[in-house]
Amino acid sequence: MPDVTIIVFADATTTRTATGFPTSTATPSLTGSSVSTVLGFSTGSSSTLLVISAPTSAPSSKAGGSSTSSAAGPKITEESYATGNLATYLPCVPGTFICTSNTTWVTCDQTMYSDGTTAWVYEGSISVGPGMACFPNLSPYSSQTNQYAQQADTPSGFYRDDRYARAQPYGPCSGEGSIQCTSGGSQFMMCDHGGWILMGAVPDGTTCQNGGFVSS
């Protein structure tokens, strides 16, 4: 019986480009994963399976993804950048930041005035790094943050807690690890931390159809 090598891609953080997978095989059962596609090939005395799978639930991360809020809370769009006078968004929650554009952000820091009083204000504009972007986001006040007054120009019970993440030139997505076919099935994109990532050409001998790969 030939040796079998199984390659499992559980999320979109692993390199997925591969060639030489001309056939499609039945999807095996993998505990803890929702498998979308299995591709395999044989060479001599060995066989290899390429398994592209998506976790049963997508992780949540402050650094990740497009404009969001809590599941039950109000939504905020990518166009909700803080422009003009930032005093309209005060008071702010210490340590958070607010996007003034998709490439710039300002941190909520403590400042001291000439009369000796202090306050938390937005100051110190910073530009994002190459390939990164700033995304508007809302967070609900909690036991750690409810000592701060309601932030102005923000839905009641929430404050601006914007995100710094990888840019999403192909738009936001949901369903971590899901696949979107492009270029008539000759190329594909994958959902990675809330944004579509262009992966390039499909494996040799396959076509992308309905979010998966089939033998061509």
Alpha-carbon separation of residue 50 from 22, 24, 28, 41, 117 (angstroms): 11, 10, 11, 9, 62
pLDDT > 90 fraction of the chain, expressed in percent and rounded: 45
Q: How far apart are the first and last CA of the chain?
A: 27
Name the residue range of residue 98's domain: 86-166
Mean pLDDT across 33-54? 36
Is residue 76 scored above 80 in pLDDT?
A: no
Alpha-carbon separation of residue 210 from 98, 168, 180, 185 (angstroms): 38, 22, 8, 9
Is residue 72 a part of any domain in this protein?
A: no
Whole-number Å distance between alpha carbons of 114 and 98:
26
Is residue 73 a part of any domain in this protein?
A: no
Tally Cβ neighbours within 10 Å of residue 155: 15
Residues 156, 92 share a domain: yes
Tens of pLDDT, residue by residue over 158-193, are: 999 999 888 888 988 888 899 999 999 999 999 987
Residues 107, 44 share a domain: no
Residues 136, 102 share a domain: yes
Residues 157, 101 share a domain: yes
Is residue 114 scored above 60 in pLDDT?
A: yes
Q: What is the pTM of this model?
A: 0.54
Residues 186, 149 share a domain: no
Q: Contact at 8 Å (CB) between 65 and 172?
A: yes
Number of domains in the chain: 2
Q: Contact at 8 Å (CB) between 93 and 148?
A: yes
Residues 162, 97 share a domain: yes
